[in-house]
Amino acid sequence: MTLRVRFAPSPTGKLHLGGARTALFNFLFARSQNGIFILRIEDTDKERSTKEFEEDIIESLDWLGLHWDEGPVRQSERIDLYQKIIEELLNKDLAYFCFCSKEELEIRRQEQLTRGEAPRYPGTCRNLTKKEALDKISRKVPYVIRLKVPEKIITFKDFLRGEIPADYRQIGDFVIAKKEDEPLYVLANTVDDHYQGITHVIRGEEFLSTTPKQLLIYKYLEWPEPIFVHLPLVLGQDRSKLSKRHGAKSISEYREEGYLPEAILNFIALLGWHPEKDREIISLEEMIKEFKLEKLHKSPAIYNTSKLNYFNKHYLKIKNNDDLISLLNFSDYGKWQNRNFLAKNSNSYSYEKVLKIIELGKERATLLKDVLPSVNFFFEDFDYPSQLLIWKEVSKNKIKENLILIKKEFAKIKDEDFTSEKIKEILDNLAPQSKGEFFWPLRVALSGKDASPPPFDLAEVFGKEKTIALIDKAINKL
């Protein structure tokens, strides 16, 4: 039997981090077992579901590289199937029409709470005759459809957690549809899992309370049950439910901020799973090779922005520079202040030097949007206070003399030999003991910053003429 799993988001919001983790674990399990990964859009909530959110989910999954084998299947296109199942349950007397108003239900709820009981439907309409129910329907009395729940305790098995008890007496007859053609999640989700041949339901821990209800539907319809795997929660560092106040965002927001898909995948994979040999850096291809359901953690995972930034910095450093140029020029990574620097300054530097600029910029960048601002001195006129040129306790006159000496030595180099290697060699010879006296003021002269790439790398990119002009500017400041 072919293993079949699904990711089934509701398009009532953008794809968030927890949802992406669920999608990833389903994807990894399918790929590791040569199974099928299905994308299902659960859009039966007509009021809250939007095309915009559906597009965000699809685009975010595609950007992450979590490509599905079947779908997207939309529940809104399968209403006839759900209606058929609802009618079957009604005909078998396993479900019934409930005409209780919200006001009536709230009164009963408050009475139960007052008595210290768990709120549950009291079964008011359960024993209505078919004639009584049809009479109310003909008079257009509003109704919902409830499933009959037995008065007993059961246990069901979760792959990670083992046997879990469930008391149907505490659940009561629950609603499965607003009308015959308006199924709720608990029914539509179960029907789809059956008809799509889902073998493993891998989803968040928050759905644990839904499982006994769905198991009852499987039993009533005499369907085989899938294996349930409920993933632990992702919590903030204060161990409360993860939210935006902890720094969590939608995947599209992370994308706009300049995170790379490789970093996000690596980060969320470790929120509940760990590869062999305690490694932290792992590619999607390596995850597929190593992934096993039994290696999923049972305890909650803790969200840590610093760890995500660590991963992004790593993947940014190893990213091919040609690819980064493409991303920086043409991507939809948000409206950054310095976006399209390269496009605007394409005549200032050769392509080889642009690659060098990218290499220098990404060394200190955490996010994609940080790459160019960290080397903006290559593209913009800059200024700085003369005091920034001073290295430790060295006098202003001595710094000035050192810059004049550097300028004289640079002037001797042929234009074609003005490389970082040659420049570093000269600086090392000038300052065999105290490199800071030469390296520091040259770095400031070429960048206007107290933190920048090495001065010999900056000089190579600027070229001999521009470098000497910037040294002259620094000398004049002193």
pLDDT in tens, 351-385: 889 889 999 999 989 999 899 888 989 988 999 99
Smallest Cα–Cα separation from 295: which of 312, 273, 270, 280? 273
d(CA 21, CA 41): 17
Determine the pLDDT at residue 242: 79
Determine the pLDDT at residue 343: 56
Looking at the chain, the whole-number percentage of residues with pLDDT higher than 90 is 77
* Strand ranges across the sheet with 144-147: 95-98, 144-147, 175-179, 182-183
Determine the pLDDT at residue 36: 98
Determine the pLDDT at residue 347: 63
Q: What is the dihedral of CA 33, 299, 40, 304, to 10 degrees?
A: -110
Residue 138 has pLDDT above 80, yes or no: yes
Q: What is the dihedral of CA 350, 354, 359, 362, to 10 degrees?
A: 170
Q: What is the dihedral of CA 172, 76, 38, 159, to 10 degrees?
A: 0
User: Average per-residue pLDDT in the chain?
Assistant: 92
Pairing relation of β-strands 70-74 and 36-41? parallel
Determine the pLDDT at residue 267: 97
Determine the pLDDT at residue 342: 57
d(CA 86, CA 99): 17
pLDDT band (50, 70, 90) for residue 344: low
Mean pLDDT across 443-454: 94
Residue 461 has pLDDT above 70, yes or no: yes
Smallest Cα–Cα separation from 427: which of 467, 377, 465, 469? 467
Structural domains in the chain, CATH included, are: 4-72+186-235 (3.40.50.620), 81-183 (3.90.800.10), 244-315 (1.10.1160.10), 319-377 (no CATH), 386-477 (1.10.10.350)
Determine the pLDDT at residue 341: 55
Task: List phi, psi (to 5°) of 58.
Answer: -65, -45
Active site residues: 244
Determine the pLDDT at residue 117: 80
pLDDT band (50, 70, 90) for residue 245: confident
Determine the pLDDT at residue 348: 74
How many residues does this entry show for the chain? 478
Determine the pLDDT at residue 338: 46
* Strand ranges across the sheet with 227-231: 162-167, 153-158, 227-231, 200-204
Q: What is the pLDDT of residues 85-105, one digit of tens each?
A: 999 999 999 999 999 998 888
DSSP letters for 189-231: HHHHHHHTT-SEEEEEGGGGGGHHHHHHHHHHTTPPPPEEEEE
Q: What is the dihedral of CA 434, 439, 445, 447, to 10 degrees?
A: -140
Determine the pLDDT at residue 335: 43
Q: What is the pLDDT of residues 272-330, one digit of tens each?
A: 998 888 889 999 999 999 999 999 999 999 999 999 999 999 999 999 998 888 887 64
Smallest Cα–Cα separation from 28: which of 315, 290, 258, 254? 290
Determine the pLDDT at residue 340: 52
Check if the beta carbon of residue 345 is closer than 8 Å to that of residue 379.
yes
Mean pLDDT across 150-160: 96
Residue 345 has pLDDT above 60, yes or no: no
Determine the pLDDT at residue 379: 86
SS3 breakdown of the chain: % helix, strand, coil, rounded to 5? Answer: 50, 10, 35
Question: Between these two residues, 464 and 276, which has the higher pLDDT value?
Answer: 464
Q: What is the pLDDT of residues 382-440, one digit of tens each?
A: 999 999 999 998 999 999 999 999 999 999 999 999 999 999 999 999 887 778 899 99
Q: What is the pLDDT of residues 48-67, one digit of tens each?
A: 999 999 999 999 999 999 99
